[in-house]
């Protein structure tokens, strides 16, 4: 059973690495949900399993994961002909956190957005 828990914890780091590979924003709540999913998948799942703040902090510390400011936003799958100039008015349709979890020492923190123009606030009347 201990080996199975270790495998579940390792799978969580794979979830995290996959999310970061795709430039997704990751927060503590994502880590919690992944841990709960892995517990449900285990043959001998732990009843009433909870992810405590202390347990999450220890896991992040052991895997050298810290909160970092997003330094670059990336548009995925859009060519230059699909990007519109919306200088006149732009309302925030996508709410993006300015921070994400990342491995310690990472210099450039990228996050993916659907549309770059909806991440800015500019109003012209």
Q: What is the predicted pLDDT for the residue at 66?
A: 92
Q: What is the predicted pLDDT for the residue at 124?
A: 44
What is the pTM (predicted TM-score) of this model?
0.64
Q: Are 104 and 61 contacting, i.e. CB atoms less than 8 angstroms apart?
A: no
For the chain, which residues make up each domain, given as ranges?
A: 2-123
Within a 10 A sphere around the Cβ of 67, how many other Cβ atoms?
14
Q: What is the pLDDT of residues 55-77, one digit of tens each?
A: 888 888 988 999 988 887 766 65
């Amino acid at each position: 059973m201990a080996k199975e828990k270790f495998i579940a914890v390792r799978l969580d780091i794979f979830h995290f690495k996959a999310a970061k590979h795709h430039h997704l924003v990751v927060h503590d709540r994502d880590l919690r949900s992944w841990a709960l999913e892995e517990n449900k998948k285990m043959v001998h799942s732990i009843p009433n399993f909870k992810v405590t703040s202390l347990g999450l902090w220890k896991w992040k510390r052991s895997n050298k994961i810290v909160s970092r400011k997003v330094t670059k936003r990336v548009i995925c799958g859009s060519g230059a002909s699909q990007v519109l100039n919306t200088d006149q008015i732009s309302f925030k349709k996508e709410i993006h956190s300015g921070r994400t979890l990342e491995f310690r020492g990472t210099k450039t923190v990228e996050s993916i957005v659907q549309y770059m123009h909806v991440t800015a606030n500019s109003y012209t009347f």
